Structures are given as C-alpha cells and as structure tokens.
Amino acid sequence: MTAGRASGDGLDRLAMAVLQPGFDGTAPPDWLLRALADGLGGVVLFARNVTRAAPRTADRSADRDGDDAGAAGGPGPVNGPVDGAVGGAGDGTSALVAALRRERPDVVVAVDEEGGSVTRLEAATGSSWPGNLALGVADDESLTRRVGRQIGRMVAAAGVTLDYAPVVDVNADPRNPVIGVRSFGSDPEAVGRHGAAWIEGLQSAGVAACAKHFPGHGDTVTDSHLALPAVRAAREVIERRDLPPFRAAIAAGVRAVMCGHLLVPAVDALPATLSRAVLTGLLREEMGFGGLVVTDAIEMRAVAALHDPGEIAVRALAAGADAICVGVSSARGESVYALRDAITAAVREGRLKEDRLAEAAGRVRDLAAWYDARADARAAAAGDADEGLGLAAAAAALRVTPGPTGPAASEAEAVGPGVLTRAPLVVSMAARPSQAVGRVTPLTLGQALAEILPGTTTAEVNDEEDAPGLLATLGDTGRPLVIAVHDAVRHAWMRRLLEEALRARPDAVVVETGVPGTPAGRLYLATHGNSTASARAAARWLAGRSQ
C-alpha cells in the first residue's frame, strides 16, 4: 500500500461515508445498522419512516373565542405539535433516529422538510407552516426567519442533522411542474432575501440547512423525477437571475447545497450533478462555497436514464459532490453495498481520485461535527414555541381580488372577509401531486371549511375524466359554491372546467392554492400554497373568522 493511501477496509469506509440512503420502515432494518457499523455516513428519512401523527380532528374552540386554530387537542399542528412534543413526527421517529445514533453517533440524518406542500414529518396531517411562495408574498423577512426557526425546532426534535431545504430556485416559468409554490417567487432579489432569512432561522435551531437545486431549477417545464430538464438561458441570464439566491444563501452561512438534476448548456454539456464545471468550477471556485454538496436522489429519471446508480455516484463525486442521496434502497441493503463497491472500484481503476473521495468524506464529517457542536442551540429552540405563527404566516399571504363576475373595480375596497355565511359546496380541482410532494395529505379547503361551517361538502376532480355529471350539479343555487384550483395556470383541462363551471355559477368564489393566474369568479382568493396552515387561513377568511 502506498503511504498515505487507505487500506481496502479504509477505502470501503470512505466510500460508505459519502452515501445517504433511504430505507423502509419505522425502525432501522438490520442491514442499515450493519452499514452504519461499516462506515455509512448518512441516511435520509421519508414519510414512510415517520411514526404516524395523531388523527386530525376538528377543533372549533378557536371559532368560539377568536383565538388561533390548532390549539391543544386540535387537528394537525397548525400552531403547535400533533403529538404533544415539538413537531409532526411522533416519538417513534426520534426513537428511530436514536437507534441509528447508538450504532453511529455522528451519522448525518437528513430529511426533506420544506414546509408548505413538501413535508415528511407532517405528511399524515399536512404542514403546519405555509410554503415558500406564501412567505415570499407576505414579504416579511422576520416572519420567514421565524418560520424557518420553528421548522428547525420540529426537525431537531426528531434528531435530524440536515434539512434538505430551502428551495432557492427562482420560479421564472409559472408552468414549472416541480417548483411552483416551493419557490419564494419570481424575483431573484426577493428569493435571495427570504432564502437567507429561512436559512438563518433554521440553523439558529441547531439544524443544517441545504439550499437547492443548484444552479437553479426554476426556468424548466420538465420534472426531473421523470426526465432531464434543461435551462436554455444564456449565461448572463443565469448569472443575473438564478445564481443570486445561492450567493445569498452562501453569505448567510448555509451548510449544504443540493445540486439539481438539470442540464445548463450555457455552463456545460453534462447534467449539473455530473458536471465538474458546475459543481467545482462554478459553485466551489467562482462562488466560494466550502460546505457539503449533496446530490438530489440518484434514482430520479433525469440521471437514472443515463447511467446505472454506481456510475452516477462515481461521476457525481468526481465532479465535486460530497454526498450521494439515494431515496430507494433494496430490501436487504445490497444496493447500498453495490454503490460502495462501484466507488472503490473507480478509485482503484484511477477514474476517481482517492483524495477527492477523502475530501468528500471529510465534508460529511465536518457537517456532523457542526451539528454536534450545536446541542445548546437545539435545547434553546426546544423551549421556544412560537404559538400561532403558522396560521398567522399563512394569513399574511392571502390575496383577494374581485373576479370578473364580482364587484366592480370601484367597489373592490369593500370586499372583505366573511363572504360565506352558510355551508358551501366545494369543488376541488387538482392534478395528482409530483413525486417531490410525495404522500402528503394536507387538510383540504373543504375540510377546513367543514370545521367552521358544518355541512360543507367537497367534490374532487383530478382530471377531465372525473368531470361528467359534476357540472350538472352546479345549477343548484341553493348553496354557495367555492371552486378550489391548484396551479390552473399549468393545466388547460382545469381552466376549461373552471370556465364551464363559472358559466353555470358566476356567483362562485374561486380559491387558487398554487401559483396564481387570471382572476376568475365573483371573488378570487390566492393562498400561494396548499399546506394545512394555508387551508385553515383561507377557510377562516371566507367564513369571516379571526385569524
């Protein structure tokens, strides 16, 4: 063995150190514990690993006395925990993490907890917190910082080291199928300000933040879970539009950056995950980032269609990535060991420098050490509940516009809360969620209204095939009609159905829970997100209840 080089066992441990695999179940499987003993550096938690939170039940105490919804005994954690502790995950999740740490105290435990539509710890009830677009619309950096801290408080209670958040992509194309309300908005300066504030808030709770998806996933119309998206903008546009929020995140001290599986021809002909020009040349050398670079999940079709998993890992490490996120592992962990073997083989063959692998493993250890040094911050955050914040933040993002069948422009100022005085029919139009959102079941607007106005009913439409017979029921003007749409700007079928429905019922109130489009109906209410918090804020506004 050459002096200074790792032995076979040492090389295997270096290769294991850079992997962050997912796994099935709410307890660590035997193979995972063995992998930790063999040097596995990290794991990533998904909703499938989270102990289910308490069932959602209606809490009408707030409707009686005007205080915030979601108080003790209420549904979901709009202003506090669902399990009486700190966050949406039950005690079982923290017990799972504790079991991992008993095997390897410095394991990096990651989770994708953005708030809004993307939540893992609160997947069973929907997020307590509005998402990024809502925070961007509210445009109060202190509010954003407070929300970031409370999300940090929640994930810290579960024992999480690294939160794969926030999204700092600039949503340059409203047709974007995977970013949308996950972005703070379409203005680079505002996205940078709020991204930095969210990072500061989260990291003040002793949990590492991760800005994503470098170098910017906002100007795409392809979901990288399904195919390889491309950002066709000129380099000067990328510099002016997409990179400033990442620069702001770096200046705010973000501990990690996630690269996106996307093609940026103005920088390189290779996907960003596999591009040395992007990860080393641009992110490291030009922008000066010295923290952990983690890939998005390598089973996503954007890169999985190009190479097998082992080759993706090798090429990403060679390009400058430090940690390989693997969302899906085989039942007995063979796939994780196959990745290890592919990495060590590449080192032995000279395709991956051992120094580069050692550098990557060192950055994983550095992140673990950063987390270990912030036990006091986590303890302080645990006692810092910000009661009522989730609902208040969601309410601050509500925007109301008279629609074309509503009051004239001169009467617009008279439009106020309380437009519903009795139980409505809610027609909900939404496409099936992207894989980024996963199996989240937020409180719907209809459910939130039913908590306040008993007798509210909901009809769901997920595509045009669900529509026959629905429109025939809308001619009944015996009850108010609310039409809730999500990202109608992206779905022609949704816009067509909305137009038909409004011809039958021009008195309908339209609520957009995604990226807003052209106002429609008697009244157009934009929530800028579809979290449980946003649903309750919208319902309380419509019913005239205090926030």
DSSP code string of 378-406: HHHHHT---TTHHHHHHHHT-EEEE-TTS
Q: Is 528 a catalytic residue?
A: no
- Could you tell me if 110 and 173 are in contact, meaning their C-beta atoms sit under 8 angstroms apart? no
Q: Angle at CA 64, nearest 5°, toward 59 and 65?
A: 110
- Residues, the chain: 547
Token pair of 68 as six digits: 């915030």
Cα–Cα distance measured from residue 289 to residue 251, given in angstroms and rounded to the nearest whole number: 9
115 forms bridges with which residues in the sheet? 118
Token pair of 111 as six digits: 């989770």
pLDDT in tens, 166-212: 999 999 998 888 899 999 999 999 999 999 999 999 999 999 999 99
Per-residue CA distances from 252 to 144, 183, 321 (Å): 14, 18, 21
- From the list 291, 284, 296, the residue with the least C-alpha distance to 259 is 296
Q: Given 3-state DSSP classes, what are the helix, strand and coil percentages for the chain, each rounded to the nearest 5?
A: 40, 10, 45
Does 244 sit behind a cis peptide bond, omega within 30 degrees of 0 on the bond before it?
Answer: no
Which pLDDT score, from 0 to 100, does residue 241 have? 98
* 495 C-beta neighbours (distance < 10 Å), count: 17
* Exposure string over 181-200, b if 16+ CB within 10 A, otherwise e: bbbbbbbbebbbbbbbbbbb
Cα–Cα distance measured from residue 512 to residue 524, given in angstroms and rounded to the nearest whole number: 7
Which pLDDT score, from 0 to 100, does residue 375 have? 97
Please say whether the dihedral angle defined by the alpha carbons of residues 326, 331, 337 and 343, taken in this order, is positive or negative.
negative
Which pLDDT score, from 0 to 100, does residue 175 have? 87
Identified catalytic residue from 223, 296, 322, 487: 296
Which pLDDT score, from 0 to 100, does residue 49 have? 95
Token pair of 502 as six digits: 């409004």
Cα–Cα distance measured from residue 90 to residue 111, given in angstroms and rounded to the nearest whole number: 15
Which pLDDT score, from 0 to 100, does residue 226 have? 85
- Could you tell me if 434 and 522 are in contact, meaning their C-beta atoms sit under 8 angstroms apart? no
Residue whose structure tokens are 């989260």:
202
pLDDT in tens, 279-331: 999 999 999 999 999 999 999 989 999 999 999 999 999 999 999 999 999 99
Cα–Cα distance measured from residue 141 to residue 163, given in angstroms and rounded to the nearest whole number: 20
- Residue 293 belongs to what H/E stretch? strand 292-295
Cα–Cα distance measured from residue 76 to residue 309, given in angstroms and rounded to the nearest whole number: 38
Residue 247 identity (one-letter amino acid): R
Which pLDDT score, from 0 to 100, does residue 547 have? 65
Cα–Cα distance measured from residue 320 to residue 539, given in angstroms and rounded to the nearest whole number: 47
Q: Is 296 a catalytic residue?
A: yes
Cα–Cα distance measured from residue 318 to residue 309, given in angstroms and rounded to the nearest whole number: 14
- Could you tell me if 245 and 252 are in contact, meaning their C-beta atoms sit under 8 angstroms apart? no
Identified catalytic residue from 213, 225, 486, 528: 225
Cα–Cα distance measured from residue 529 to residue 536, given in angstroms and rounded to the nearest whole number: 12
* 499 C-beta neighbours (distance < 10 Å), count: 10
- Which parts of the chain register pLDDT below 50? 1-3, 54-87, 409-414
Which pLDDT score, from 0 to 100, does residue 83 have? 29
